[in-house]
Amino acid sequence: MKSSLSAWKYIRNNKKSVGVLVMAISLAFAAIYLIYFLLMPTVESFVPILLEMPKHETYIQLSDGAYGLDSGTYNAIDAITPSSATNATGETKASDAPNPNDTTTPTGVNSANGTTNETNAPTSTGVINEINETNPTGETKASGAPNPTDANNTSGVTDSEGIDKPSAENDPTAQMASYNQAREEAKNKFLEFLKNHEGIDDAYEKQVIYGRYQGVVGQMNYNFPLLDKEQIPAYLDHNDAKLIEGRLPEEDGEVALDKKIMVNQKLKIGDYYLEEIFGKNFKIVGILKSDHMTCVGTPHGYANTGWYIVILCDEKTSYFQTLADEYGLTLSDADYIDDMAKNQKVYGEEVRDIILSVVKIISMIVGLFLAFAVTIAYISKLRNRINEYCLYASIGYSRKSIYGMMLREMLISFGFGGIMGLIFSIAISLLLKFTLLDSMGLMSREIYPEEFLKIGSLFILIIGVLQLPVLLYLRKIRTIDEIED
């Protein structure tokens, strides 16, 4: 009975060719893994911003229509609001000064000063709002011009001209003032509803600027509020954020940023935050540590990226549609809602799915190239060794024994290639993590075992594909007697 054919004899006698094959397999293994390793930190680093931060805070900017107001006709009859709003102390609150960045005012009117303004108020696009020069009522008053809403002027005429003063129902300025008051009352009533809602620590309308976080590929912008200094400790407590260096913002135009943001943007205390965008309006005075990259600051005039209602929520109240339905708001595409639902969609469709699709495409390309290259190399090797296989058949070895030897040679080559690729992958990924990713302030695991399993499955598939040329050449094997006949 003949012993089985040894695969090691060929490997020992052909170290160079086998070594080239093993090295090619190991490099392909490492290439697929390292592509995954370099792209996944973007996915993992955006998780705190997109999936954790919205559990703690929601940013909304509602259109007038959401409150039931019609800005086209200044008709506030159907507004979801009483004739007056009540503040937290139970006192009737007069209309606040209009929001200088409200995008819901009629076309061509700036709600801060009543003057024409062709540019709509920015939201979260990164444009800084200019400081509006207004009087305490939010109206720009020309020198010597009559004030149609002056409570002391009851004669129906101006002090200087003696011209009849229009009635309130026909005076556009008075209509606008009435409309603004209705809007403020509707908004204040909604804020009171939020403040009293279970699971919500606080709610207020504040200026907001955006934080910026750079991934290996792509960039994520997110909102953080500009608060009164008295509000900042409660905001940090709500977000479980701690001051680890410097101090909290106290003066106008100061910010405290999460440590990972500081590292990611290569900032230090004393720098101005995003100076190329905001100029020297926001000076960094402190560094925070939190699980979801909390940042906070104090306002500096009207330098901001918008005015938003900031809701300090919990996970149960982080889906704004539920709150809107409970209150009776009518939401539309004109309303800006930055809540858990929106961020889950962004994470799923614009971050995770896209990056994983890129990884799959690259892995497929590398896998197909590897399969093609290895198949060509194996066909060449089989063609060169066909006489050797015929000799084995002539001295009594069956095709099954010869196939077993060929399969063992293949498994040894892929086995050594996979082991070397695994070693290369871990070594290079650890080097990249501690020298590149950590210095970028990105979050990453040391290894991704699930990707090793996927690459192993790919190699098994390639080995399966290689059985086709192997079986084809087995059919060509002839003994010496068969060749002579």
How many other CB atoms are there within 10 angstroms of residue 284's CB atom? 23
User: Over the stretch 66-104, which tens digit does the pLDDT of each residue have?
Assistant: 998 876 655 544 445 433 333 333 343 333 433 434 433
In this structure, is residue 307 part of a structural domain?
Answer: no
Tell me: do 121 and 69 sit in the same domain. yes
How many domains is the chain built from? 2
Tell me: do 188 and 170 sit in the same domain. yes
Least confident of 110-119, 321-330, 388-397: 110-119
Q: Which of 181, 227, 190 is nearest to 207 (CA)?
A: 227
In this structure, is residue 231 part of a structural domain?
Answer: no
192-196 long-range Cβ contacts below 8 angstroms, 24+ apart: 192/85, 192/86, 192/87, 192/88, 193/327, 194/309, 194/311, 194/323, 195/88
Question: What pLDDT, on a 0 to 100 scale, did the predictor assign at position 177?
Answer: 87
- 8 A C-beta contact, residue 174 and residue 187: no
Mean pLDDT value across residues 114-119: 36
- 8 A C-beta contact, residue 303 and residue 278: yes
How many other CB atoms are there within 10 angstroms of residue 483's CB atom? 10
Tell me: do 117 and 37 sit in the same domain. no
Tell me: do 447 and 368 sit in the same domain. yes
In this structure, is residue 34 part of a structural domain?
Answer: yes
In this structure, is residue 207 part of a structural domain?
Answer: no
- 8 A C-beta contact, residue 49 and residue 220: yes
Interatomic CA distance for residues 72 and 78, integer angstroms? 13
In this structure, is residue 70 part of a structural domain?
Answer: yes
In this structure, is residue 69 part of a structural domain?
Answer: yes
Tell me: do 372 and 468 sit in the same domain. yes
Tell me: do 42 and 158 sit in the same domain. no
Tell me: do 24 and 82 sit in the same domain. no
Identify the three-state secondary structure at position 244: strand
- 8 A C-beta contact, residue 376 and residue 468: no
- 8 A C-beta contact, residue 111 and residue 360: no
Question: What pLDDT, on a 0 to 100 scale, did the predictor assign at position 73?
Answer: 54
User: Over the stretch 468-481, which tens digit does the pLDDT of each residue have?
Assistant: 988 888 888 888 76
User: Over the stretch 236-281, which tens digit does the pLDDT of each residue have?
Assistant: 999 999 999 999 999 999 999 999 999 999 999 999 999 999 999 9
Indicate whether 336 pLDDT > 80: yes
Question: What pLDDT, on a 0 to 100 scale, did the predictor assign at position 485?
Answer: 57
- 8 A C-beta contact, residue 182 and residue 105: no
Q: Which of 143, 177, 198 is the last residue of a domain?
A: 198
Tell me: do 79 and 181 sit in the same domain. yes
Number of DSSP helices (H) and strands (E) in the chain, helices first: 13, 11
The answer for residues whose C-beta is within 8 angstroms of residue 306's C-beta and 6 or more apart is 61, 101, 121, 122, 123, 124, 129, 207, 208
Indicate whether 50 pLDDT > 70: yes
Tell me: do 162 and 114 sit in the same domain. yes
User: Over the stretch 121-178, which tens digit does the pLDDT of each residue have?
Assistant: 333 333 334 333 333 333 433 333 344 344 444 444 444 444 454 455 667 788 888 8
Q: At what angle do helices 353-384 and 449-474 cross, to 10 degrees?
A: 30
430-437 long-range Cβ contacts below 8 angstroms, 24+ apart: 432/34, 432/37, 432/38, 437/41, 437/216
Tell me: do 77 and 127 sit in the same domain. yes
- According to DSSP H, which parts of 239-349 are helical? 259-264, 275-278, 320-327, 340-345
Tell me: do 25 and 124 sit in the same domain. no
Question: What pLDDT, on a 0 to 100 scale, did the predictor assign at position 3?
Answer: 64
In this structure, is residue 227 part of a structural domain?
Answer: no
Mean pLDDT, the chain, integer: 80
CA distances from 410 to 369, 404, 407, 459 (A): 18, 10, 5, 11
Q: Which domain holds residue 102?
A: 58-133+151-198
- What percent of the chain lies above the pLDDT cut of 90? 46
Identify the three-state secondary structure at position 282: coil
User: Over the stretch 13-35, which tens digit does the pLDDT of each residue have?
Assistant: 888 888 888 998 999 899 999 98
In this structure, is residue 273 part of a structural domain?
Answer: no
What is the identity of the amino acid at 332?
S
The answer for residues whose C-beta is within 8 angstroms of residue 229's C-beta and 6 or more apart is 248, 249, 250, 298
Question: What pLDDT, on a 0 to 100 scale, did the predictor assign at position 429?
Answer: 93
Identify the three-state secondary structure at position 246: strand
Tell me: do 15 and 126 sit in the same domain. no
Q: Which of 142, 173, 198 is the last residue of a domain?
A: 198
